[in-house]
Amino acid sequence: MNKIKFFSTLLILSLTFSFTVASISKLQFQAYAQDGNGYEVVFTISDGEDSMYYEGAGIPEMLTWGPAAFTVAPDGSFWIADTAAARLLHYSPTGNLLGKIDLKSLIVGATDVEVAESGIWVLDQASIPPKVMSFAEDGTVLAKYDLPSGLHLEDGLSGIVLGDGGELLVEREGDAYITQITDAAGKLIEMVTTNGYIHKGKPFAAHAYGLNTTTPRRGTIFAGELRIEVETEYDLGGMQILGFGPQDDF
């Protein structure tokens, strides 16, 4: 569940180092790994035919938009939802393009991506109803799930994630509510919703108190039996658990 969504120009992702920060511009994508107090460039993707596409780039009167999500596969390679170009891009750990999956006619707007040994999972928030599709690495469609009422945009739909056993989970309001819709084999089940994630039998959740409360700079992280209080210098807009590391760090 090592993933990131492009909410802003600075992003944080758990990798084999402490944290990864990615920055984007209309010409270049870079991912950094933090090791102690220093940073190392993991890879750079420059502008070009094999790079990501940004709609409206260089046009002052247009809002520039492009990739919506980025995840790390079990083999250490990277998958990017190149949303404006309706495709998935697959890069090696050093930033070399390994392949593309064309999503035209299949996905209206890819807003999240997850990768496991079983395939590549894509959330299409723009379709009616929203749906999740699974692909093989060569682009073959493996599965398609229309999300039922209660898991739509108006219900706070915000992403997808794969559970410890590969089961498909749907996120609402970040990680405030997690709904399991399939078992590990990909079979639809009666929906089960929890507050936050269940990782190895323990609950994990992160909640900001809210900008309209009397404590807008505070939040709480629940990690198993731990309760971690967070206080920031400025108003805390939100917190979200992005993933779990090999030593059960998060």
Give pLDDT, residue 16. Answer: 31
Place of tokens 């799930």: 145
How many residues are given for the chain? 250
- Please give the span between the terminal C-alpha atoms of the chain, in angstroms, as a whole number: 10
Per-residue pLDDT, 241: 82
Average pLDDT rounded to a whole number, residues 138-150: 95
Using CA atoms, how far apart are residues 137 and 176, in angstroms rounded to an integer?
31
pLDDT at 25: 42
Element (H, E) at 39: strand 38-46
Q: Which of 228, 227, 223, 220 is nearest to 245 (CA)?
A: 223
Q: Are 204 and 250 in contact (CB under 8 A)?
A: yes
Interval 73-87 mean pLDDT: 91
Instruction: Tell whether the model's pLDDT for residue 138 goes beyond 80.
Output: yes
> What's the rounded Cα separation, in Å, for the pair 203 and 222?
7
| Average pLDDT score, the chain | 83
For residue range 149-200, list pLDDT tens digits in order: 999 999 999 999 998 888 999 999 887 899 999 998 889 999 989 988 888 8
Residue 39 sits at φ, ψ, to 5 deg, of -125, 145
CB atoms within 10 A of CB 20: 22
d(CA 20, CA 4): 10
Residue 140 pLDDT > 70: yes
pLDDT in tens, 33-71: 666 677 777 777 766 666 888 888 788 888 888 888 988
CA–CA separation, 172 and 197 (whole Å): 11
Cis peptide bond upstream of 129, omega within 30: yes
More confident residue, 243 or 69: 69
Report the pLDDT value the prediction gives residue 127, as an integer from 0 to 100: 95
DSSP string computed for 54-93 = -BTTT-TTS--B---EEEE-TTS-EEEEEGGGTEEEEE-T
Tokens representing residue 42 in the block: 């993991």
Q: Tokens standing for 147?
A: 């999300």
Q: What is residue 172's predicted lDDT score, i.e. its pLDDT?
A: 92
Model-level pTM? 0.77
- Assess contact for 46 and 28: CB atoms under 8 A: yes
Question: Which of 98, 102, 110 minimizes the C-alpha distance to 70?
Answer: 110
Contact between 69 and 81 under an 8 Å Cβ cutoff? The reply is yes
